[in-house]
Structure 1
Amino acid sequence: MPTLARPETCPDCTAPLDGDPGFPVWCPGCEWNLLVEPAAAPGRLTPREQRRAARAERRTAERERAVRARSELVYEQVAGGSPAHRDPAVRLAVALAGLVHLTTLLVLAGSVALLVGDAWPLRVLGAVGLLIAFVLRPRPGRPGENDRPVGRAEAPALYALADRVAAAVGAPPVDVIVLSDEFNASFGRTGLRNRGVLTIGLTLWTVFTPAQRVAMLAHEFGHAVNGDHRRGRWLGFALRALHEWYRLTVPERLTASGDHYVLILAGHLQRLVMLLVNGAVAGLLTALDRLTVRSGQAAEYRADALAAAVAGTAAAQSMLESLLLGTTVESVLMRRRNRLVRARRDDRADAAELRADLVERVAAVPAVERERRLRLSARTLGSVDQTHPPTHLRVRLVGQRPQVTEPLVVLTDEQGAAIEAELAPHWERMSRELLRG
């Protein structure tokens, strides 16, 4: 099949096109081919199918307009200097979280009351209730399958950098650093002692420049001081409990058959009750998410401002833009996985080469492709995840603030080399896991 030639001028505005052959061609002037629409399915739709598709398209467009309006409203409020006061929606979310905790306490108290009773069937119910209360207890989030904690004695240089950045932000020192295989980073509190946990994705750390690493750390530590309610214990524990409720109330498929009409009827009734409870839990999770999305996005903007203040405006902006390069990282991993499968060779040599390949490929992404991905964020409201504002708005707001050209924290070559030496064993292990997929 012949390869289609890349156009030299834009078909819409006739502007000259320039770009790397390894990336999609598009026009920065009129945004021709910015978003490649999926090919239409073969065959003609019936009138009924056309009406159904049109309704679905309208609903999707309405949801997108609502999300865009909400995101732009939060952006305008933060850009306008609105104080970080308590959002009325957050107050309602806090109240709903209180109901969740109260329900857990009622289950616990009722179970204890049943256990001290005289009737053994009630004691059995009490034991079951205690088990349920134990499952629903407030607890920290679960680490990822490949997450590995690193202690201070094992990585003193990394902790020294983290402590410097935390002090510059005004946050307490981190208690533990966890290494992850994800192209992401996060900060949160865990346990009854409210220990600070910083999670660093090694692929993200690998492709970031020293200044971007400082900006990333400053952003994450910013969540310790920016009033992000979602990362607090009250709302966080409630959300985790609701996720457990949802998992426990998923109705199972009925297996009873034959002439056991009573069992079949009881099974249908049980399934109906579980469906209702599961739907109510899902609705409560959705409500909490919508009630906290505005305050959560505002907190992300404030964390970005702290990143710029500590690492400099240019470093903060480039760090945010590099978050859009996750597909480039994944393409490198996919290519190397396929190479291993075809060659049937051990992955140790590839693990040693992977770091250099990732750094080279990300650094080689041309400016026109980085601009395309930033504009795609504006077109499709692309973000790190649903809890973050669109990336293009984050970059824009950092650029609109007073420019910071003298960073408070600088990662020197010597310090960076010491950190790389500490992370080398972890990178070798984790890269092999990444290559195995």
Structure 2
Amino acid sequence: MRAVEELVVQPCPQCGVEVRGDRRFTVWCAACDWNVDPQGADEEKQSRLERRRRRMAQEYGERLLGQLAGEAGRPEGERPGRSAAGVLAYTIALLVHGVTLALLAGGLWLVIGDWGGFGMVPGLFLLALAATLRPRLNRLPAGAQVVSRGEAPELYALVDEVAAALGTRSVDVIVLDGQANASVTHLGVRHRVLTLGLPLWEVLSPQERIALLGHEFGHFTHGDTRHGMVVGTAYGSLTTWYYYLSPIENPTALEYLVSLLYLPPRWSITGVLMLLDLLTTRASQRSEYLADAAAARVGFTEAAAGLMDHLLVAESIDMTLYREVNARQMRSSGRVTAKDAEGLWEALAAHLRSVPESEHERRRRVSARRGHSVDATHPPTHLRRALLLRLPPAPASVTADAERTRGLAAELGDRRAAVALELVRDGLDQY
């Protein structure tokens, strides 16, 4: 299954140079950047806080790039949680959780102290508020495609090898889902979980998959204050407060007056969020850069750079997946069956293999213009790729030969089919 290139040749309307491109993608001019970013940055849909976070990500990313590129190829340094900024961030996070605890204590005191009286009303309100603001430990989502060690020994052996190469403990659980992403996190207090999004996993080469695993385990190796249990759950509580205090759209006169009363606490919450951003953004971005360096060490620099290119075209992965899922839904006669989902991953991989180098280069230039990043906590992707290319190349410490690749494909066959069927049957909204 191979995507067909649709060649277009035309003069650049801006500088007159001959432009050759693939009609399936944006046609642009590499000489003068005509049409390099036809949509432009979509900042109107972002809140002021989100725009501020992304500007901060760009500024810190550029600063750290120059610093880390000069650290002899193996940039290390202080662990984020041990810096003065990290200690202050932990202190603020504990104060945030202290407010939640005070709401809980106040609610219990009112309910118990005035049992059966009017004081129970504000008491129950405080208890309900504390419940929504409580720190939440990660849990596996309902219906998660959990892969056990007995079911996928080759996959766990590869994951264990990557973890050992980076000097960290492996994961306890591996989960597959239908998102073009991958992540590691703690499940409960101690257990580690690795989530592999098949739309991303399936379009990567065997060595790029190892680089992806190296990046994820690099987070465990170098730490990340913002995504730690204490500070991470405090962010969740503050975001909930921010949501509760947000102004109402098209308010009535009374609602408008209430919104005015909300302004001081909302500004206070915004200030605390921005302060936490200032204290943790540098450490969080440094952690991302170090995780990228870990990806290059275990998977080879070229594979890690290829992974960055795939992240830059993640939007194309999502669009192709959406198109393929819709086409299969329309072809099905009523109830979607496993046959309708056949070939989904192969079609996605074929499309990504057909993406021309000119489109990758265009995405890099757009990334540089917009300060593109996966989210506001990541350095811009083009800067991450630039650091990889500046570091001295080193041989891969973990490799995937043909036999290992076939073994991984064989043991994940049923799970791949199950996730594909879920996507075609239920659509992308469930993810």
The TM-score, its normalising length taken from structure 1, stands at 0.80
Query: Is the counterpart of residue 407 in structure 1 residue 389 in structure 2?
Result: no
Among candidates 225, 232, 235, match of residue 229 of structure 1: 225
CA distance in 1, matches of 2:143, 2:271: 31
Among candidates 341, 357, 361, match of residue 347 of structure 2: 357
Q: Give the drift of 1:272.
A: 5.5
Q: Which amino acid aligns with 1:109?
A: A
Q: Which amino acid aligns with 1:214?
A: I
In structure 2, the partner of 1:182 is 179
Secondary structure of 2:97's counterpart equals: helix
Query: Is the counterpart of residue 328 in structure 1 residue 316 in structure 2?
Result: yes
Q: Give the drift of 1:223.
A: 0.3
In structure 2, the partner of 1:310 is 298
Q: How is 1:100-139 mapped onto 2 (pairs within 5 angstroms)? A: 100-117=96-113, 120-121=116-117, 122=119, 125-139=122-136
CA distance in 2, matches of 1:146, 1:371: 39
Secondary structure of 2:407's counterpart equals: helix
CA distance in 2, matches of 1:61, 1:129: 32
Q: Give the drift of 1:255.
A: 11
Q: Give the drift of 1:425.
A: 2.5
In structure 1, the partner of 2:4 is none
CA distance in 2, matches of 1:321, 1:284: 35
Deviations 1:346-394 (A, max 9, x none): 4533411111111111111111221111222112211222211111111
Q: Give the drift of 1:325.
A: 2.0
Among candidates 16, 24, 27, match of residue 25 of structure 1: 27
In structure 1, the partner of 2:276 is 288
Q: Give the drift of 1:116.
A: 4.9
In structure 2, the partner of 1:73 is 63
Query: Is the counterpart of residue 382 in structure 1 residue 372 in structure 2?
Result: yes
Secondary structure of 2:183's counterpart equals: strand
Q: Give the drift of 1:301.
A: 0.3
CA distance in 2, matches of 1:141, 1:409: 30
In structure 1, the partner of 2:203 is 207
CA distance in 2, matches of 1:209, 1:78: 27
Q: Which amino acid aligns with 2:64?
A: V
Q: Is the 8 A contact 2:204 2:307 kept in 1?
A: yes
Q: 1:424 to 1:243 in 2, by over 3 A?
A: farther
Q: 1:65 to 1:189 in 2, by over 3 A?
A: closer
Q: Is the 8 A contact 1:75 1:298 kept in 2?
A: no
Q: Give the drift of 1:226.
A: 1.0
Q: Is the 8 A contact 1:141 1:240 kept in 2?
A: no
CA distance in 2, matches of 1:278, 1:297: 27
Q: Give the drift of 1:277.
A: 4.1
Asked which structure has the greater RCO (Cα within 8 Å, sep 6+), the reply is 2
CA distance in 2, matches of 1:33, 1:417: 42
Q: Give the drift of 1:18.
A: 3.0
In percent, how many aligned pairs have the same letter? 39
In structure 2, the partner of 1:198 is 194
Secondary structure of 1:19's counterpart equals: strand
Query: Is the counterpart of residue 150 in structure 1 residue 147 in structure 2?
Result: yes
CA distance in 2, matches of 1:250, 1:411: 50
CA distance in 2, matches of 1:271, 1:170: 52
Query: Is the counterpart of residue 433 in structure 1 residue 430 in structure 2?
Result: no
Q: Is the 8 A contact 2:235 2:273 kept in 1?
A: yes
Q: Give the drift of 1:185.
A: 0.8
For the pair shown, the structure with the greater C-alpha radius of gyration is 1
CA distance in 2, matches of 1:253, 1:28: 44
Q: Which amino acid aligns with 1:372?
A: R
Runs (5+) with no aligned partner, structure 2: 1-6, 45-49
Q: Give the drift of 1:170.
A: 1.2
Q: Which amino acid aligns with 2:227?
A: R
Q: Give the drift of 1:281.
A: 3.3
Q: Is the 8 A contact 1:144 1:180 kept in 2?
A: no
Q: Is the 8 A contact 1:188 1:196 kept in 2?
A: yes
| Matched residue count | 403
In structure 1, the partner of 2:47 is none
Q: Give the drift of 1:149.
A: 2.8
Q: 1:119 to 1:365 in 2, by over 3 A?
A: closer
Q: Give the drift of 1:124.
A: 5.7
Deviations 1:89-122 (A, max 9, x none): 4444323212102112222333444455366434
Q: Give the drift of 1:275.
A: 5.9
Secondary structure of 2:222's counterpart equals: coil
Q: 1:270 to 1:113 in 2, by over 3 A?
A: same
In structure 2, the partner of 1:56 is none
In structure 1, the partner of 2:359 is 369
Query: Is the counterpart of residue 98 in structure 1 residue 94 in structure 2?
Result: yes
The TM-score, its normalising length taken from structure 2, stands at 0.81
Q: Is the 8 A contact 2:332 2:340 kept in 1?
A: no
Secondary structure of 2:32's counterpart equals: coil
CA distance in 1, matches of 2:89, 2:265: 20
Runs (5+) with no aligned partner, structure 1: 39-52, 54-59, 257-263
Deviations 1:12-44 (A, max 9, x none): 444443333322222223323212257xxxxxx
Q: 1:66 to 1:326 in 2, by over 3 A?
A: closer
CA distance in 1, matches of 2:210, 2:226: 24
CA distance in 1, matches of 2:373, 2:251: 43
Deviations 1:241-289 (A, max 9, x none): 2234345556789999xxxxxxx97x88766655654554344334423
